[in-house]
Amino acid sequence: MSKGARKKRQTRPWQNPDALRDIGDLLAAAREDDGLALAGYEVQRVDPVRALKDYICPECGNVVPAGEGHVVVWPHGDPDLRRHWHRHCWRLEVRRGDGDGEY
């Protein structure tokens, strides 16, 4: 006996885990734009696809691996001092730099 017609499975965009993950990344990226600005510094977000090399994060000293979204930061007018930071490390720095004496 047949247990009923087998439903044809098709991959729909909204059922595609990869697509969902991309949307999640976009939302996360949008959120992460908040709180990255710090007075006196230029902050540029680097998307994973544009992260082509490994860098050393000046905050934690660990590698920012190629393919990981991160931020490039440099003091206004001094692009020679640009550094590649983990996003979370830069956010910590921003929090410290806001300097309200909260710890």
Residues 16-75 that bind Zn ion (CB under 5 A): 57, 59-60
* Only segment of 20-28, 33-41, 46-54, 80-88 that touches Zn ion (CB under 5 A): 80-88
What the block records as the tokens of 64 is 């920012």
# residues contacting Zn ion (CB under 5 A): 5
Cβ within 8 Å of residue 98, ≥6 positions away: 38
Decide whether 42 or 59 has the Cβ nearer to Zn ion: 59
How many Å apart are CA 30 and CA 41, to the nearest integer?
A: 20
* Residue 36 Cα to chain centre, angstroms: 11
* Residue 63: its H or E element: strand 63-64
Among the listed residues 69, 89, 90, 91, the single contact to Zn ion using CB under 5 A = 89
Decide whether 3 or 53 has the Cβ nearer to Zn ion: 53
The residues binding Zn ion (CB under 5 A) are 57, 59-60, 86, 89
